[in-house]
Amino acid sequence: MAFRRPAPRPAEKPVAQPEQPSADAIELPPTDDLDISEQATNATATGIASRDWAMDETGLLEEALRSHSLPEALVTRLQSLATAPVHTARVVDRLAVALAAHFHFLPLDEAMGAPMLLYGAAGAGVSTLAAKLAAKYDAQEILVVSTHPKGVDPVLAENLQALDLPLATASDAASLRTIIASAGGRKVIIDSACGAPSDKATAQRLHQLSEAAGAESVLVLAAGTSADDATSLARAATRINTHRMIVTQLDTARYLGAPLVAAETGKLAFLAASVTPHFGFGVRVLTPENLARRLMAAALKTERWRIAPL
């Protein structure tokens, strides 16, 4: 008769008891990624090295600004302005004061009081931005005009159809003038569909369209543009009397040196920023406060920069 030996039972492991906190344990208070100077102090006190930043506020701000590849003169200027508000504790708030003192910020609603002519380099998202700006209004309040040289821009037409908003087309400056005259008090957004103003023929066409519509021209700049291209676009923008800028593609760009360089070069006022690729929403007001938060958050080694509010 076969006999089967029973398998040995595994030894039971003792249940681990939770360790009691020692009397010397230090409980850290919750911190905010943007209150960096306070975290640096906590890190020093507890022996925890959370970042490679300098521990003093001046060094911290300098390193944060340099991470965005800003010119030396601009870094120095912003640092100098940030030291002025002696009663402002946080670095990010001091940077906001510096940005407000050095750059121009214009409310978007105020800017849309006159017809707005949008233009920018290929890939900057001009047509998408036109739909985004129009999406907050209804058909009785807004009119979008496309000056696409080959007729209706199919992407813009599809986006506006989804939003149930009207689209007019103007092949030249004369037809654009006629459309503007019949707008009936509606706000007007003009998608120039021209391209970068650094091209002489494009610059001339943009100037003609702007004059015909009585419009304020607005440079649309992708946040990921190189510093050299941003400088070239800003200089070309000033030659056609552009004083305003909207930044796009902030959802994909971590460092924001290009928009600051463009604003500095062309003395361009910040109007707004686009933070999503969707055509129906995602335009945010750009203020010194939220720009400062974004600049500081992007410089950190965490992923909090992606959700820095705008």
| Domain layout of the chain by residue ranges | 53-102, 108-286
pLDDT of residue 57: 72
Average pLDDT over residues 216-242: 95
Query: Residue 29 corresponds to which tokens in the numbers above?
Result: 């208070």
| Of 124, 116, 162, 120, residue with least CA distance to 142 | 116
Contacts of 171 (CB under 8 A, 6+ apart): 147, 149, 151
- CATH for 108-286, among 3.40.50.620, 3.40.50.300, 3.40.190.290, 3.40.50.460? 3.40.50.300
* Side-by-side strand order, sheet with 187-191: 167-169, 142-146, 187-191, 116-119, 216-222, 244-248, 269-274, 283-285
pLDDT for 304 beyond 60: no
For the stretch 8-27, pLDDT in tens is 555 555 555 545 544 444 34
Cβ atoms of residues 194 and 204 within 8 Å: no
Instruction: State the pTM of this model.
Output: 0.80
pLDDT of residue 42: 44
Query: Residue 287 corresponds to which tokens in the numbers above?
Result: 């203020």
CA angle 200, 202, 204 (to 5 degrees): 70
- Mean pLDDT comparison of 45-49, 149-153, 248-252, highest-scoring range: 248-252
Torsion of CA 32, 36, 37, 40, to 10 degrees: 90
Residue 273 dihedral angles phi and psi, to the nearest 5°: -140, 145
For the stretch 71-125, pLDDT in tens is 999 999 999 999 877 777 788 999 999 999 999 999 999 999 999 999 999 999 9
Query: Residue 135 corresponds to which tokens in the numbers above?
Result: 């999406």
Residue in this structure with the two tokens 């010194």, named with its chain if needed = 288
